[in-house]
Amino acid sequence: MNVLIADATLSPAGLMPEGRRTLSSAEDGKPALGTIPGRWVAIVDDHDSIRSALALSFRIEGIHAETFASAEEYLAHSEATPPYCLVLDMQLPGMTGHELARFLERERPPLPPTVFISGHDDLLASLDGCFQALGRLRKPFETDALMALVKPLS
């Protein structure tokens, strides 16, 4: 599947409400077919359309994904295990993606393999020498590029 991810409003009914939601769990709470219990990807982005599209893309690939609208929401989550990959927008309200990565690296090591995403080249360039990033993707990007980074980890 190859979908272009951009800051846009998606309108399909029931895709994803604001805030955190899992898209890889069935209505009955059981993990989606093909997912590994306890293994999950965290998507932190303030744009609902991007969270929705990425979560749906992961679900199609059989990867459990949890979404968060802010760094603070991610920090407040109560998962028993950390994600095996973090997809992190650089420009978030409140704590930025860069600040969240630093906090996790310092306070909750080790920092999960992280794919930084941003619509701004200067923000992605600001990561040089700071983090061992799994990847950096400039919005808009193809979901295939993200899956090429994340799927080998699963």
Shortest CA distance to 47 belongs to which of 13, 26, 78, 16? 16
- Residues paired with residue 87 on neighbouring β-strands, in sequence order: 43, 115
Strand order in the sheet with 41-44: 65-68, 41-44, 85-89, 114-118, 135-138
Contact predicate 121/102, CB 8 Å: no
Q: What is the pLDDT of residues 68-102, one digit of tens each?
A: 999 999 999 987 899 999 999 999 999 999 999 99
Domain ranges of the chain: 38-153
Amino acid at 86: L
- Which range (20-29, 101-110, 118-127) has the least confidence? 20-29
| DSSP symbol at 125 | H
Whether 7 shows a pLDDT value over 80: the answer reads: no
Q: What is the pLDDT of residues 119-144, one digit of tens each?
A: 988 877 777 767 678 999 999 999 99
Query: pTM (2 decimals)?
Result: 0.78
pLDDT band of residue 42 (cuts 50, 70, 90) is very high
Highest mean pLDDT: which range of 8-12, 18-22, 32-36, 145-149: 145-149
Q: CATH number of the domain at 38-153, out of 3.10.129.10, 3.80.30.20, 2.40.50.140, 3.40.50.2300?
A: 3.40.50.2300
